[in-house]
């Protein structure tokens, strides 16, 4: 007697993108677009991070990339920014806010990004991690020595940290300072009176903490964060320097491109159920087999969440069935074992979990890391009591069609 079940598999489509769209903004604003992407990397499957794809500019990419990379900081230079002194700046002012003063939101702040299709929300964290630009002043400001004016622009006043770079002329300098997390203001006190001063570029570094992309949906997410600028604002240049703009907005576009791929070996879609040791061993022993079964190996790659469902050519109760030529029917039990790194919704390994028509217990599987080309098993079994029924029709062949679906639309 031979018992044969046919297997075919379908895989749901899987794409994931996270993006920030356009926003209604007030006048006098600076707007920056931040982009990042996650693509599973077979050469580095344990990496579950977004890659920042925002075009960088300024000191970090152009002059000191290794220094910025060491502190996980990216920089953007905005050449349209302008700030001008509110009036003459006296020598040795009694308040650092009356000189060259910089305070930025260096603590991480949460911003929500929303999936464009499903409305699901994730949290991104951002902080400003660097500040710089170009200052312009009369020659006397740059040549001041008793206040170490030039040394501080090069080395950075505490709590800011230097990148040890400055490009300067007799009346201007380009600078950039690293701002540690939760740092206060950084300021330079002038030792000579300055008739006027201006900033004609703004350069800022930023640091991001992004969600774990393995737990995110396929699709597009949108969100933004806005900082106020000016005296007492989030980005504060003190009382001496007044920026033309009053807000700084970051619009985020984070793209995730998940991979879900399942392959069967050649002939793996045709499954023959046998007793333990094969039919000949059963005939030699003359005893009823305790079960008919087959474990069919498949290979899976997965970087995102998915579910598994069962479809049957013949349904019996909550599972599929097999039928012989005379119309006798028996249920077929189907289960799945997934490779290490793919857990169920309770964060438990998946070992011979039943696949049922109602989908219970297979509604969510989630990777702990990118699982790339790892073997799993589908388990097909006719149980003992049902085998007994089949053996009442010796020489009969039972057939059935089972469709197992790996679906990324969770």
Residues 233 and 97 reside in one and the same domain:
yes
The pLDDT of residue 379: 98
Which is more confident, 147 or 201?
Answer: 201
- Same domain, yes or no: 80 and 154: yes
Structural domains in the chain (count): 2
Contact 283, 49 (CB under 8 A): no
What pLDDT does 145 receive?
A: 55
The pLDDT of residue 315: 97
Q: Are 177 and 104 in contact (CB under 8 A)?
A: no
Query: Higher model confidence: residue 253 or residue 7?
Result: 253
pLDDT at 10: 35
Give percent of the chain above pLDDT 70.
Answer: 90
Q: Same domain for 271 and 248?
A: no
Instruction: Judge residue 223's burial from the number of C-beta atoms within 10 Å of its C-beta, 0-12 exposed, 13-18 middle, 19 or more buried.
Output: buried
Is 46 within a domain? yes
Checking if the pLDDT of 164 tops 90, the result is: no
With contact defined as beta carbons under 8 Å apart, do 308 and 376 qualify?
no
Range of the domain at 379: 3-13+260-407
Mean pLDDT, the chain, whole residue set: 87
Per-residue pLDDT band for 368 (boundaries 50, 70, 90) equals very high
DSSP strand pairing (401-407 vs 3-11): parallel
Of how many residues is the chain composed? 410
Q: Write the CB contacts of 212 (distance below 8 Å, at least 6 apart in sequence).
A: 48
Q: Are 187 and 316 part of one and the same domain?
A: no
Look at residue 370 in the predicted model and tell me its pLDDT: 94
* 247 neighbors 24 (Cβ within 8 angstroms): no
Dihedral angle sign, alpha carbons of residues 166, 167, 169, 171: negative
Residues 270 and 195 in one domain: no
| 177 domain-assigned | yes
My answer on whether 165 and 281 are in the same domain is no
* Residue in 332, 281, 283 with CA at minimum distance from that of residue 3: 332
Check if the beta carbon of residue 134 is closer than 8 Å to that of residue 201: yes
Residue at which a domain ends, from 256, 274, 304 = 256
Do residues 108 and 193 both lie within one domain? Answer: yes
Examine residue 401 and state whether it is found in any structural domain, yes or no. yes
Residue 58: the pLDDT is: 84
Are residue 342 and residue 373 in the same domain, yes or no? yes
Least confident of 66-70, 127-131, 145-149, 283-287: 145-149
User: How would residue 148 be classed by pLDDT, with cut points 50, 70 and 90?
Assistant: low
Which runs of consecutive H residues, i.e. helices, occur in 79-173?
139-143, 149-155
Q: Both 234 and 380 in a single domain?
A: no
Domain termination site, one of 256, 279, 305: 256
Report which of residues 287 and 334 the model is more confident about.
Answer: 334
Q: What is the pLDDT of residues 182-212, one digit of tens each?
A: 999 999 988 889 999 999 999 988 888 999 9
d(CA 223, CA 317) in angstroms, rounded, equals 46
pLDDT tens by residue, 380-410: 999 999 998 988 877 889 999 999 999 988 7
Is the residue at 24 inside a domain? no
Mean pLDDT of 286-293: 84
Q: Is 21 contained in some domain?
A: no
- Which is higher by pLDDT, 12 or 273? 273
- The string of pLDDT tens digits covering residues 42-71 is 888 888 888 888 888 888 888 778 878 887
Q: How many CB atoms lie within 10 A of CB 43?
A: 6
203 within domain boundaries: yes
Residues 165 and 303 both lie in one domain: no
Helix %, strand %, coil % of the chain (to 5): 10, 45, 45
User: What confidence score (pLDDT) does residue 324 get?
Assistant: 94
Residue 22 counted as domain residue = no
- The answer on pLDDT for 4 being more than 70 is no
In a 3-state reduction of DSSP, which class is residue 195?
A: coil
The CATH number for 380's domain is 2.60.40
Q: How far apart are the first and last CA of the chain?
A: 41
Q: Which of 223, 256, 289 is the last residue of a domain?
A: 256
DSSP state of 306: B
Q: Tell me how far CA of residue 266 lies from CA of 270, 297, 298, 299, in angstroms.
A: 9, 11, 10, 12
pLDDT at residue 220, as a whole number: 82
Instruction: Look at 370 and 21; give whichever has higher pLDDT.
Output: 370
Question: How do residues 102-138 score in pLDDT, each as one tens digit?
Answer: 999 999 999 999 898 889 999 999 999 999 999 999 8
Q: Residue 295 pLDDT more than 70?
A: yes
pLDDT at 284: 67
Strand-strand pairing, 270-273 and 121-136: unpaired
Model confidence at 142: pLDDT above 80: no
pTM above threshold 0.75: yes
pLDDT at 9: 35
Q: What is the pLDDT of residue 147?
A: 57
The 8-class DSSP code of residue 216 comes to S
Assess whether 337 and 403 both reside in one domain. yes
Asked if residue 45 and residue 120 are part of one domain, the reply reads yes
In a domain, 20, yes or no: no
* DSSP states along 36-95: EEE---TT-TT---PEE-SPP-SHHHHT-HHHHHHTT-EEEEETT--EEESS-B-SS-SS
């Amino acid at each position: 007697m031979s018992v044969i079940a046919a297997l075919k598999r379908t895989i749901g489509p899987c794409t994931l993108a996270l993006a920030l769209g356009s926003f209604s903004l007030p006048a006098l604003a600076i707007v920056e677009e931040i982009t990042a992407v996650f693509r599973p990397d077979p050469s580095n499957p344990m990496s579950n991070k977004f890659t920042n794809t925002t075009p960088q500019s300024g000191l970090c990419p152009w002059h000191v990339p290794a220094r910025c990379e060491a502190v996980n900081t990216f920089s953007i230079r905005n050449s349209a920014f302008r700030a001008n002194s509110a009036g003459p700046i006296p020598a040795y002012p009694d308040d650092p806010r009356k000189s060259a003063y910089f305070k930025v939101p260096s603590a991480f702040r949460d911003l929500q990004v929303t999936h464009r299709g499903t409305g699901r929300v994730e949290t991104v964290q951002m902080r400003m991690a660097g500040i710089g630009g170009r200052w312009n002043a009369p020659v006397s400001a740059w040549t001041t020595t008793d206040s170490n004016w030039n040394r501080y622009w090069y080395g950075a006043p505490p709590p800011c940290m230097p990148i040890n770079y400055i490009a300067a002329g007799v009346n201007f300098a380009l600078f950039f300072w690293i701002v540690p997390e939760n740092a206060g203001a950084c300021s330079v006190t002038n030792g000579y009176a300055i008739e006027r001063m201006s900033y004609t570029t703004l350069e800022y570094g930023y640091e991001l903490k992004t969600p774990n992309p393995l737990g995110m949906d396929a699709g597009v997410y949108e969100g933004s964060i806005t900082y106020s600028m000016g005296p007492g604002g989030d980005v504060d240049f003190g009382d001496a320097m007044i920026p033309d703009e009053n807000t700084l907005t970051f619009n985020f576009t984070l793209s995730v491109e998940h991979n879900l791929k399942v392959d069967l070996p050649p002939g793996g879609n045709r499954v023959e159920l046998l007793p333990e040791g094969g039919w000949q061993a059963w005939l030699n022993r003359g005893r009823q087999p305790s079960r008919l079964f087959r474990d069919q190996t498949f290979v899976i790659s997965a970087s995102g969440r998915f579910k598994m469902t069962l479809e049957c050519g013949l349904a019996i109760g909550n599972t599929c069935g097999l039928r012989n030529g005379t119309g006798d029917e028996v249920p077929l039990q189907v289960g799945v074992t997934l490779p290490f790194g793919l857990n169920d919704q309770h964060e438990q390994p998946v070992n011979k979990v039943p696949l049922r028509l109602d989908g219970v217990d297979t509604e969510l599987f989630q990777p702990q890391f990118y699982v790339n080309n790892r073997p799993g098993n589908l388990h097909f079994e006719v149980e003992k009591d049902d085998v007994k029924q089949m053996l009442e029709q010796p020489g009969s062949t039972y057939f059935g069609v089972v469709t197992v679906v790996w679906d990324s639309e969770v």
